[in-house]
Structure formats: structure tokens, C-alpha cells
Structure 1
Amino acid sequence: MKTTLVTLLAAVLCVEQAHPLMCYVCEEQESNDDCMTISMCAEKDNYCLTVRNTVGTKPNKLKYVISKMCSPTCPDRSHQENQTYQSIYCCEKALCNVNGVSSKQSSYGVMLLGVLASITYTSAHGL
């Protein structure tokens, strides 16, 4: 039974890649809490992006504006124009742009944690 559950879990994780990507989306929000809307991306989209603009002329008067979206490409990581500094974070897994600094490595870590939790649960409950 354990083997069946582990095989089923592995199959579900593989099937995820066949469906369009899901990302968090929002436009120009001042808080990440306001950027938690989930959207199904187009088939051409391979990345979830978080764009964080830092605006301000004085260090103690900075303003942060966050946008999240689906994208077919991962643009340049960051650049500065006048008084605005833009940071761009890209990732390739479903809902990986939850906090804006996710990466492939952290996505794999979350996936591994889920697998280990499933195995521990099934072992503890004798399934």
C-alpha cells in the first residue's frame, strides 16, 4: 500500500508539468498581502515573475511597489532608472512567486518537504 501511495504521489508531481502554469498576479501593490490572487497562465508562459520597484529620493522615504505576473520569458534581473530601482524575480513552478524571492531551489525544497511529509504520515498511520 505504501508503494502505491508513493507511486501515485510521484505521478501527480509529474503530471503538474503537463498543465499550464499557475502564478500569483497583481499590479502595483504596496504590500505583498495584496498580491495573492491566483491566475492560470497561458500555455506559452513558462515563468512566474515578481517585479519590485523601489522608488524614492531619500533612503528613509522609500516606497515599494510590487507586481506579479505570468511571463513567457525571464527578463533581466534588475535595473535602475532615475529614482527607481527595479528588481525582478523569476521562477518556474506553480505558485512559486508567493513571496517574490522564490527560486528553483526553494520550489524543489517545498516539493521535497511535501513528499517527506506524505511518507511520514503514511508510515505513522500504517497505510
Structure 2
Amino acid sequence: MKTTLITLLAAVLCVEQAYPFMCYVCQEQESNKNCWTISMCEKEDKYCVTVHDTVGTKPNKPKYVISKMCSPMCPATGQQQNQTYRRVSCCEKPLCNVNGVSSKQSSYGVMSLGVLACITHIFARGP
């Protein structure tokens, strides 16, 4: 039983390499809840990108918009132009831009935590 579970876990971790790279995509949405569309990325795309724009139309009430996309490179992380401030985050795992504030470190951390939890569960159950 343990061998089967460990083999299954290893297979799940390796499956990521067999499927095309995918990211969440949306354009200028006012909320992350409107950014659940999954898109197959192009072969050259290596990053899932999330862009938060703060548009300063009114001094006390800035407008926030979020965009998500696939990209072959990670764009500059912070820019200010006129009344707009742009914050960019990039990650390198499929669908890693789900929450809008992804990074490489959080992707690896979540994956490591999941593997550790599975292994702990397998050995805690015993024969």
C-alpha cells in the first residue's frame, strides 16, 4: 500500500511536465474573482504574469484593475507612469497566478508543503 501511494505521488508530481503550460488569464478586471479563465500558453511562454494597475483617476479613490496572462519573460516589476502605478508578479508553474500575488517562492513552498504532508500521512498510517 505504501509503495503504491509513493508511486502515485511521484507520478502526480511528474505529470506537470507532460501537459502544456497553462495560466489564468483576464484583462483589466476590477476583482480577482473575475479572473478564473484558464488558457493554454504558447510553447515559448515560461511565466504566468499578474499585473495590478492602480489608476489614479480621483485622489482619494484610486481604481484598481487586475490582468493575468502567459508570457515568455517576466516584465519589469514596478512602474509608475502619469497617474498609474503598475505592480507585476511572475511565477513559473502551471496555474500559479491563481491568487494574483504569486511568486516563485510561494509556488515551491506550497508544493513542498503538499509533498511533506503526503509523506507524513503515508508513514503515520503504518502497515
> Which TM bucket (shorter chain)?
0.7 to 0.9
Matches within 5 A, 1:111-122: 111-122=111-122
Matches within 5 A, 1:37-116: 37-116=37-116
Gaps of 5+ in 2: none
Give the whole-Å Cα distance in 2 for the aligned partners of 1:25 and 1:71: 11
How far did residue 58 of structure 1 move? 4.5
Identity across the alignment (%): 74
Residues 80 and 126 of structure 1, relative CA distance in 2, 3 Å threshold: same
Give the whole-Å Cα distance in 1 for the aligned partners of 2:68 and 2:126: 42
Q: Which amino acid aligns with 1:52?
A: H
How far did residue 120 of structure 1 move? 3.5
Matches within 5 A, 1:14-29: 14-29=14-29
How far did residue 124 of structure 1 move? 4.7
The TM-score normalised by the length of structure 1 is: 0.87
Deviations 1:63-104 (A, max 9, x none): 101000000111111111100011111100111111222111
Alignment-derived partner of residue 13 in structure 2 = 13
Alignment length (residue pairs): 127
SS in 2 for 1:60: coil
The TM-score normalised by the length of structure 2 is: 0.87
Q: Which amino acid aligns with 2:17?
A: Q
Q: Which amino acid aligns with 2:37?
A: T
* Structure 1 vs Structure 2 CA RMSD: 1.9
SS in 2 for 1:116: helix
How far did residue 10 of structure 1 move? 2.4
